[in-house]
Structure 1
């Protein structure tokens, strides 16, 4: 939020003022096309800008196209009038063109006036429409007198009107604002290449800055040394934005456009294109040079010697993380994209060899070239100038229409495997030449015909099929968390689908280590011990909201109820969760249903197979039965490894308290054994499985028999451990009662659905010695499922229900499952209208 007294921005999450440096925000034509679009831009400025920021704007919507159409009509009118003004046919044609010119001017003025009326109060609107009327009169006079001489002045009106209108809207509703016509200070030293005189331009800009007001600068236009209006070429407003960053030393430039980032191919042509969240500067520059629809060749030039990051984001979806261009680590350098350009010309001549070839490269900045073979590839528009240049050298030339397709990535031309893969992807496509760019960030194939969308899609699929980057954050660094991390390097190396998983976060109870460029998995715990810092939930969520990855997975190995309360926020952000933590899955019915709903709405995946049975596939088996059309009627078993161990060994000879003390010393029980004896853990596990089977239950619906006498429940742990002998008589009595019936005692969980009635309980039961639940290896869990398909012969899953290795292995199984699902998922790209 903008504050006229302090150059600060308001952080929405903390509602605190935070000082930050100067930033540049550029809004494209589609972002400013209608009054609704402009209101959206005003809200973005309100939320993301500060008073010392710089706003650069393009012309509203298709205003520049309309101005160019006016110019063409005017030129045609002038030609007709000058050729044969007295001929009846010419006179009639001139009259038609004159009427068309006036109608187009009226349409243009009406559209601009409508925007003014919709956005401003009456007095402000009247003032701006009066200025607009003056401009239209000047524009009309120029068109009817000498349109060729005034071409750039005519085209400049669009950005001028856009900046003036936005400044007025901001001044009226947000903060003090003023507009700057870039022609007042932005000087070109080389008009042909749109090169800027930074020294004079910076001086002029500094002189015109106003304190405590937000500046709105026109994009696309500048002036030359003769004080004439110049334009900065195709999509020149992006170039204007980075020029302003260079002049002001801005830390960040955000290009607010109609697509939410830079993609691995043009998403209008390649539906499976994926967002490139971070690109190194040189790679982005090469992408722009070779036809990326968002980045353009000149955009990055002003940032070459500045430590400025460039962001691309969508004004139509400002909360979605876009793409960032800057200096990054190895993960960002692994990004790969495919781009193409049609309508090119391959020019071959003896003048393109050696030294004279270097002069040609300097003159025409070709798309690609090979001076050993004497050819350059240029745009069709350059063909005439190439011919003229060669005529002055008195050499012949052959021209051939061509297209290119290229892979672009950091140092990709030096990677033999990538070059070979690219050639294989084009094995059914006729090619003329393969060559790499001089900077080695692209490898290019020259095609003798247009690069079709089919070819682009096929090559993109072959080159980027394994490219999706998945971030991994591990929360909980106890015994199981440490074991999970120890197993991680080998898993990534050997399991298909985990190749692009990057460990980026380690979260403990009070400290966290977050590294966007990745944490070395082989030494993750050492890095955590050396670099972890204090954090709170808001700081964690703030980072997770803007992570630069295709997908993010949080592995929750904590026992923390407080951490489980963050699941709602995770799912709201589209983050995926693997939870060994039972709290969320066994929370209140209302909370659980809300979590499920939020996860589904945001396409978050929530797996928790280790919440019950450690690594045993009980949750996944229940889901698979349901997915295949089966209906479950009963779930029962022994769900606690601790209670399994205790009652498997308890024979009445050794007092129960002695057995309990032994289990505690071996780490089999919780530090407070009452957590196991209370049955609450088993109760939660039964609830989780019942919900997994599709039943709506709460903890209150499950009867729970506590094995802790009332007198021992609320005392301190130390006192409880001193008084455990008070348990002996109760358990010995229960055991003898069972033995009299040739039975054993086991702590059993049972859920039964029969005739639309549900019963659920966890309790100490007497079981036949031949019962499936009676003969277990100590610490084993056993799960029995009855369903439509498993009635007479129940499905039984049995095995270790606790332990570091099996639990960590179960979490890794969930990780593989979730990554396989994500690697086959294609995110829909929302495009509002790329130019």
Structure 2
């Protein structure tokens, strides 16, 4: 059974009003879900004060703090449940037990601090039941066991199975038990950590951290008005932010989710309608940029360290640490409050090189760090900030100076470094012959495209397998990565990936010849995906389906370019669109639309057997593996329909008259079966050629569209044409489009050139991609 885990922090439970808001959220949860709670408001701070008074033998202070606790909790209980409730009685028992232990000098710190979460869990569960939301509460000391500072994950997983499937399970955060049953705490941000641990033990679908902020921002929104809230960030960047001191997430919180599919979501309990920020697997999110301020820090140079020692120090301090590798040395940046402990931990192996410095950390996409560091240094120097250190390495950069960054300076840095320019995520479907050339060309085209819009390749598709990475796929090794890491992918998984892509713009580039893939176009549109296609099937689908797709794309402001679906790289679609946009009206289109049939027409003569010519073309790779795909004329029929729809004509394939370049007797069976009847093919063509020759003409396979008649004339087939006609004088393999319009009535506009080939088709796709980038950048 899929479970969700929800965690509510102290600010979310700070008053009766906030309990009401949390209860409203819980009202929409399902039985079996878990709710992890922190101590209400400042309760933990008050309990820490109580411990301090007790530790210092300040008996008067102990009494005063207990009175504060009693006043606050009793007020909450009375407002939510009334002062005669079972919860009130339990609370009084707890307060009496604390007072008694304090008086007998038997108070234990962890046992004392645990009460804040216990009170929250008990109160919330009873209040939920009062408003008819079935709930029960659990003490996480019965669920989480720690042995020698390590959680016993296997045992804890088994213990957590006691949670109910028909109720909400309200669980205390922050606390656990050791093997002797004594209370232990999970350290700073322990309730967040409890939530992700519980998510792991329950194999939950997601963990949602409800807090007082709407999500993870590019920088502190309280200091920078233009701070950007990100809908999604990767676990890798979230871990780095946490190690650099970002207050929203703690590095320990993220640890249980490593190498899992559990989603972590940060949302605001003060604005439950806001979507918040998802923390997802690295390949599911592109890299973002962040600015995190660093205050009162010390920098140590370590002369003898390793990852394990830094991990031990982090556990000791209960604070995440991010080392810096600079010129072969390891630098450690820590809050100044921990300086003495760091020096004592490393003794003579740590040298303090900077003390009580402040500054900023820049988290960014790999490769951009040196330039961002350079830009930040220049800006801070203009603000008269004296830098004491500036370093960059994979994923982040750090600048330190004598003073804390003011909001104005942080805003200037944000404007300079956090790009507001939306990126275009590119998924290429079909990486065979043309696709392979397209990718090699894309590597050299990126610099030009990026001047319009940052472009990132995030997906490669081939048949049923794919390589999908939201952070981007390096073009220099795209083929190798695909061969090594491609996975079997269903259509549903592909759609889900596109849905979750957190880019300003998305485009599918369809270089397949798959009708099944083209049927996904409406799904692509539903998830805000532009389309560039060399695939002809969508453009020639049934009219109702086609018009619904166009309507959906128009409603969502999406663009569909398909220039290479007709004429490969020839700009026929562009020309027709431009003529109409300029006020002209197309009256006729005719021509040879197939490179294969162009080659056959140019090379055929009566002294040759047509079947032998077709076999020669097949062996040279000029035809489909089964040449009847070309000889049937269906491909040309589809191309003419695409052009007709480009003119606004509401036609279906059946509205275009089709005559094949072969007799109907050859249509069945395999190509080898057809070759046993080659005499029929040769006779069929020879008779038509003889008839044309009698009239001083030659045979060409021609497409024709005439919009001046009612109904319009649309047909493709063999036609006897003058040897001097434009369609008869083609270079073998070329396409030709003869366009008549109001402006080109007596002297047709002619577009001619190679109509097939890997390079020209790939170049045509690039033309569409450049056009799309230009439009999106306007």
CA distance in structure 2 between the partners assigned to 1:132 and 1:813 by the alignment: 76
**What are the superposed Cα offsets for residues 513-536 of structure 1, whole Å, 9 maximum, x if unpaired?**
667787665565566566666665
Q: 2:138 is matched with which residue?
A: 180
* Cα shift at 1:800: 0.4
1:313 aligns to what SS in structure 2? Answer: strand
- Of the candidates 42, 45, 55, which is equivalent to residue 34 of structure 2? 55
Q: 2:716 is matched with which residue?
A: 762
* Cα shift at 1:210: 5.0
The 3 A distance-change label for structure 1 pair 538 and 185 is closer
CA distance in structure 2 between the partners assigned to 1:164 and 1:103 by the alignment: 15
CA distance in structure 2 between the partners assigned to 1:680 and 1:369 by the alignment: 64
Q: 2:730 is matched with which residue?
A: 776
Q: 1:831 is matched with which residue?
A: none
The 3 A distance-change label for structure 1 pair 228 and 671 is closer
Q: How does 1:367-378 map to 2 (within 5 A)?
A: none
Over the residues paired in the alignment, what is the CA RMSD in angstroms? 5.9
Is 1:339–2:288 an aligned residue pair? no
* Cα shift at 1:582: 1.5
Q: How does 1:519-598 map to 2 (within 5 A)?
A: 521=475, 537=491, 553-598=507-552
- Of the candidates 383, 407, 411, which is equivalent to residue 456 of structure 1? 411
8 Å contact kept, 1:468–1:500 = yes
8 Å contact kept, 1:474–1:555 = yes
CA distance in structure 2 between the partners assigned to 1:686 and 1:32 by the alignment: 64
CA distance in structure 1 between the partners assigned to 2:378 and 2:498 by the alignment: 38
Is 1:807–2:761 an aligned residue pair? yes
The 3 A distance-change label for structure 1 pair 759 and 408 is same
CA distance in structure 1 between the partners assigned to 2:151 and 2:698 by the alignment: 93
* Cα shift at 1:639: 1.0
* Cα shift at 1:589: 1.5
1:406 aligns to what SS in structure 2? Answer: strand
Q: 1:255 is matched with which residue?
A: 208
Q: 1:480 is matched with which residue?
A: 434
Instruction: Provide the aligned length of Structure 1 versus Structure 2.
Output: 694
2:591 aligns to what SS in structure 1? Answer: strand
* Cα shift at 1:802: 0.7
Q: 1:213 is matched with which residue?
A: 164
Q: 1:507 is matched with which residue?
A: 462
8 Å contact kept, 2:199–2:207 = no
Is 1:407–2:357 an aligned residue pair? no
CA distance in structure 1 between the partners assigned to 2:658 and 2:718 by the alignment: 10
**What are the superposed Cα offsets for residues 512-562 of structure 1, whole Å, 9 maximum, x if unpaired?**
566778766556556656666666545655666666877665443332323
CA distance in structure 1 between the partners assigned to 2:84 and 2:589 by the alignment: 76
The 3 A distance-change label for structure 1 pair 41 and 601 is farther
CA distance in structure 2 between the partners assigned to 1:665 and 1:231 by the alignment: 72
The 3 A distance-change label for structure 1 pair 449 and 212 is closer
**What are the superposed Cα offsets for residues 225-265 of structure 1, whole Å, 9 maximum, x if unpaired?**
999999977x764243245568x597987335599975545
What stretches of structure 2 of length at least 5 have no aligned partner?
A: 13-17, 48-70, 103-111, 304-309, 325-332, 341-354
- Of the candidates 625, 645, 654, which is equivalent to residue 700 of structure 1? 654
The 3 A distance-change label for structure 1 pair 680 and 253 is closer
2:753 aligns to what SS in structure 1? Answer: strand
8 Å contact kept, 1:167–1:216 = no
Q: 1:38 is matched with which residue?
A: 26
- Of the candidates 301, 312, 319, which is equivalent to residue 264 of structure 2? 312
Q: Return the TM-score normalized by structure 1.
A: 0.65
CA distance in structure 1 between the partners assigned to 2:273 and 2:647 by the alignment: 37
1:591 aligns to what SS in structure 2? Answer: helix
1:778 aligns to what SS in structure 2? Answer: coil
CA distance in structure 1 between the partners assigned to 2:300 and 2:151 by the alignment: 37
Q: 1:117 is matched with which residue?
A: none
Higher alpha-carbon deviation: 224-233 or 782-791: 224-233
CA distance in structure 1 between the partners assigned to 2:441 and 2:405 by the alignment: 49
The 3 A distance-change label for structure 1 pair 487 and 346 is closer
1:773 aligns to what SS in structure 2? Answer: helix
The 3 A distance-change label for structure 1 pair 800 and 491 is same
